[in-house]
Every structure is written in structure tokens, then in C-alpha cells.
Amino acid sequence: MKCQEIRDEIILYHADELDERARQAVETHCAGCPACLAFSREIAAAVAAAHRVRPAGPRVDVWLEVRERIGKKPAFFPRWAPVSLAAVLVAGVLFTKTFVSFPGNVNRSDRPVVSELEFLADYELWEDLDTLESL
């Protein structure tokens, strides 16, 4: 087996994931290959370090905190409430803008356009102005 191929096997060797035959193959290769033996030693050191610094457990009894927290009634204001409130507000604004019109707030489409005010064409505006001035 080539050195590049054996490197992954070396990692599995130290991870205790190889059967006996594969373990023998790794050991045989490393016995005759200084580079792979050095690699194996580096991997072994890293694995040993991870084992040696393994912690015992938490410094406090987690159950005491958990018991206190699960003993409390769920908050009156559920976590999904802000999202629901925001959704209702957005829906309300959209509904108002779409369907509700307020007095004095006439929609653009409802305003009369000049072409619809044809009676103005017949209106003797200038003459009336003269009349108004004479008053």
C-alpha cells in the first residue's frame, strides 16, 4: 500500500475503527516507513491529548437549574406572539389601504378630470368676470 493511502488508515487505526487484518497492515507498513511512523506518532499524540483533557462533568448540578426552570409556568406572553402581532398589524394596514377610504382622502381615480367638466366650455367665464368686476 502506498504512503498516501496508508495515512487515512493510520487515522482509522488510532480511532480504533480497523479490524485486526487492517491493523496488521498499518503496523507492517509503519515498521518499514519512517515518514508514516512519524505521521502515526503525531496522530497518536493528538488523540492522546484529546483524551487527557477530557472533562469530568459540569461544576454545578445541572438538574437544580433545570428543575427550577421546568417548575415555572410557561410565560403568559408566548414566544410566537411578537411574530403574530406583526403579521396582524401588516394585514390591518394592507386591508385599510386597499378597502377603506376616509372622507377628504379621495382616491386619485375618484377625482373629476377636466374632460368630464364639459359644462365649463359653455360657461361664459370672461363675461361673468366683467360682470363681477362691475359689481
Q: CB-wise, 56 or 121, nearer to another protein?
A: 56
Q: CB-wise, 8 or 124, nearer to another protein?
A: 8
Nine-digit cell at 92?
390591518
**Coil vs helix vs strand at 45:** helix
C-alpha distance from residue 111 to each of 88, 99, 101, 129, 130 (Å)? 32, 17, 13, 26, 30
Residues making contact with another protein (CB under 8 A): 8, 11-12, 14-17, 39, 42-43, 45-63, 65-67, 69-71
Q: CB-wise, 57 or 112, nearer to another protein?
A: 57
Nine-digit cell at 23?
491493523
Question: Residue 77 Cβ, how far from another protein at the closest point, in Å?
Answer: 16
